[in-house]
């Protein structure tokens, strides 16, 4: 992470209040005249909702009870890391 281009990451399940936290940060940034960039984590899910339900059902039928929305198999973590790295270096992403 960069001191010049810091990153704040908020994660949580659907309904956990992450949108409320994002909104609160947005209000603080506006008040402090900080030009913030926001990235929606949903953009880095490997599967759309219907496909995810299917993949989870297949995993469960194969005895995999650990496959979830939060695991690396269900997300594009390399792409997310790349965006964070580029942003920390350039302030763009």
| 61-86 average pLDDT score | 93
Instruction: DSSP letter for 91, please.
Output: S
What is the predicted pLDDT for the residue at 1?
Answer: 60
The total number of structural domains in the chain stands at 1
Is 12 domain-assigned?
Answer: no
Is 23 domain-assigned?
Answer: yes
> Cα–Cα distance between 10 and 20 in angstroms, integer?
10
What is the predicted pLDDT for the residue at 86?
Answer: 92
Is 1 domain-assigned?
Answer: no
Smallest Cα–Cα separation from 28: which of 12, 1, 10?
10
Q: Which structural domain range is residue 51 located in? A: 18-90
Is 79 domain-assigned?
Answer: yes
Q: Is pLDDT larger for residue 41 or for residue 58?
A: 58
> Cα–Cα distance between 28 and 60 in angstroms, integer?
43
Is 46 domain-assigned?
Answer: yes
Whether the CB-CB separation of 56 and 70 falls below 8 Å is answered with: no
Whether the CB-CB separation of 22 and 38 falls below 8 Å is answered with: yes
What is the predicted pLDDT for the residue at 2?
Answer: 72
Is 9 domain-assigned?
Answer: no
| 9-38 average pLDDT score | 92
Is 57 domain-assigned?
Answer: yes
């Amino acid at each position: 992470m960069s001191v010049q281009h810091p990153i704040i990451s908020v994660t949580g399940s659907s309904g956990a209040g992450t949108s409320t936290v994002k909104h609160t940060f947005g209000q603080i940034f506006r008040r402090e005249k900080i030009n913030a960039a926001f990235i929606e984590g949903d953009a880095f899910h490997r599967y759309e909702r219907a496909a995810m339900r299917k993949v989870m059902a297949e995993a469960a039928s194969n005895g995999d009870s650990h496959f979830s929305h939060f695991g690396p198999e269900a997300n594009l973590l390399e792409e997310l890391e790349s965006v964070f790295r580029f942003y920390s270096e350039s302030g763009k992403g």
